[in-house]
């Protein structure tokens, strides 16, 4: 090969290499631009689905004389009688897990991807306040508590704790030791006394605040399985429930000893089964009537509670919250929430709306 041919070949190789590099950069740039500007499908409006009332619903709230239920694919449903439901327009199709209405007009719903939506007209229209689709570990909000229209809390996966004091315009992340150091799922939050809050969660986690959520302390717990909910008794106590039909009576949440979260080792912790040892911790285990997990609970007008959960389990308590009674449910599919309505229960779950 002569020098002229060698030079021509070198120019051709150089051009090809440069062209290939340029095309690679173009592909990367085009892909990046597409990814940057392509809308997240979870932020598309929820699809209106005729059978939404018969699909997965995770929570239900009473709003004045009507009901609001939330569930899969961003579904928000409203009903005046609990029988006929109308799906509302919602600016997300991520699954909604919890709903709370501090007033008959202002309400919040939340769920997967840290999504929080708000209504100011009783559930007719909704706006997206927050969306956090973290790529590696997208957060899930499991429960909401709003004492007022502007002030409220959202708790969820991996120790997630959020607070707003301006109606959801801004959310402050709370990081007490039990949430940031241990980082287990926070399943539920409720008020057990004025300005006093109780959180329960994964691996028997329990925590208390007596200053409206400004500070928190982890509590001694007799259980190492997951708690899924708690219902206050209106007298400073609560009923706490969770996996495998476990239910505990706490007569006085303030009597539970606080423990150091930074010194707690969940892998060496064991269940406390001795009644006397449990009583010293401020807990009493209620005699079980099922081995199915309890996922949700609501207070009853007589002072008791209703608990619902896996395999269509429905359990009521007496007015002291110390005795459980298993109710028959021939439908037998998972229930996620219940509301007492007269002498019946409006429930939602895997098959949508149910009446019992």
7-53 per-position pLDDT tens digit: 444 444 333 334 343 333 333 333 333 345 566 877 888 889 999 99
Question: Rounded to whole angstroms, how far apart are CA atoms 337 and 349?
Answer: 7
- The pLDDT score that the predictor gives to residue 23 is 31
DSSP 287-338: PPS-SSPEEEEEE-TTS-EEEEEGGG-EEEE-TTS--EEEEP-TT---EEEE
- The pLDDT score that the predictor gives to residue 38 is 60
- The pLDDT score that the predictor gives to residue 44 is 87
pTM summary value: 0.87
- The pLDDT score that the predictor gives to residue 84 is 97
Neighbour tally for 299: CB within 10 Å = 18
Task: Put residue 113 in one of left, alpha, beta given phi > 0 → left and psi -120 to 50 → alpha.
Answer: left
Q: Band the pLDDT of 287: cuts 50, 70, 90.
A: very high
Where are the chain's structural domains? 1-38, 43-355
Give the list of residues 6+ apart from residue 23 with CB closer than 8 angstroms, or none: none
> Would you say residue 3 has pLDDT above 80?
no
Task: Give the tens place of pLDDT for each residue, 182-224.
Answer: 899 999 999 999 999 999 999 999 999 999 999 999 999 999 9
How many alpha carbons lie under 13 Å from residue 43 in its C-beta half-sphere?
Answer: 11
- The pLDDT score that the predictor gives to residue 45 is 85
> Would you say residue 2 has pLDDT above 60?
no
Q: Give the single-character DSSP code of 166.
A: S
Question: Rounded to whole angstroms, how far apart are CA atoms 310 and 355?
Answer: 16
Which CATH number applies to 43-355? 2.130.10.10
- The pLDDT score that the predictor gives to residue 214 is 96
Task: Give the tens place of pLDDT for each residue, 46-78.
Answer: 889 999 999 999 999 999 999 999 999 999 999
Question: Rounded to whole angstroms, how far apart are CA atoms 227 and 198?
Answer: 12
Task: Give the tens place of pLDDT for each residue, 129-164.
Answer: 999 987 788 899 999 999 999 999 999 999 999 999
CB–CB of 76/66 below 8 Å?
no
- The pLDDT score that the predictor gives to residue 4 is 44
- The pLDDT score that the predictor gives to residue 17 is 38
Task: Give the tens place of pLDDT for each residue, 223-258.
Answer: 999 999 999 999 999 999 999 999 999 999 999 999
Give, in degrees to the nearest 5, the angle at Cα 297 between 268 and 339.
165
> Would you say residue 103 has pLDDT above 60?
yes
CB–CB of 208/258 below 8 Å?
yes
Overall size of the chain counted in residues: 356
């Amino acid at each position: 090969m002569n020098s002229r041919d060698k030079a021509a070949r070198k120019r051709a190789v150089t051009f090809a290499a440069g062209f290939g590099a340029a095309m690679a950069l173009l592909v990367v740039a085009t892909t990046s631009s597409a990814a940057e500007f392509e809308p997240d499908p979870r932020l598309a409006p929820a699809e209106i689905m005729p059978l939404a009332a018969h699909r997965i619903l995770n929570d239900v709230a009473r709003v004045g004389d009507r009901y609001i239920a939330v569930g899969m694919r961003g579904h928000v449903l409203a009903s005046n009688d609990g029988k006929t439901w109308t799906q509302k327009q919602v600016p997300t199709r991520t699954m909604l897990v919890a709903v709370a209405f501090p007033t008959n007009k202002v309400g919040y719903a939340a769920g997967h991807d840290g999504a929080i939506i708000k209504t100011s007209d009783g559930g007719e229209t909704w706006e997206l306040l927050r969306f956090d689709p973290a790529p590696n570990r997208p957060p899930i909000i499991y429960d909401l508590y709003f004492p007022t229209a502007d002030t409220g809390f959202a708790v969820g996966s991996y120790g997630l704790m959020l607070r707003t004091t301006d109606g959801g315009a801004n959310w402050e992340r709370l990081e007490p030791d039990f949430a940031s150091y241990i980082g287990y799922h926070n399943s539920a939050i409720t008020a057990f006394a004025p300005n006093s809050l109780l959180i329960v969660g994964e691996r028997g986690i329990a925590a208390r605040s007596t200053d409206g959520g400004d500070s928190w302390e982890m509590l001694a717990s007799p259980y190492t399985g997951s708690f899924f909910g708690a219902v206050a008794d209106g007298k400073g106590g609560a009923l706490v429930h969770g996996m495998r039909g476990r239910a505990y009576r706490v007569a006085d949440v303030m009597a539970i000893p606080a423990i150091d979260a930074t010194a707690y080792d969940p892998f060496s912790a064991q269940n406390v089964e001795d009644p006397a040892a449990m009583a010293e911790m401020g807990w009493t285990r209620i005699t079980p009537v099922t081995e199915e997990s309890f996922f949700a609970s609501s207070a009853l007008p007589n002072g008791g509670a209703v608990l619902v959960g896996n395999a269509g389990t429905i359990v009521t308590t007496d007015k002291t919250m110390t005795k459980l009674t298993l109710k028959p449910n021939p439908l037998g599919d998972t229930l996620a929430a219940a509301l007492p309505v007269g002498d019946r229960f409006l429930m939602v779950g895997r098959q949508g709306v149910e009446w019992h």
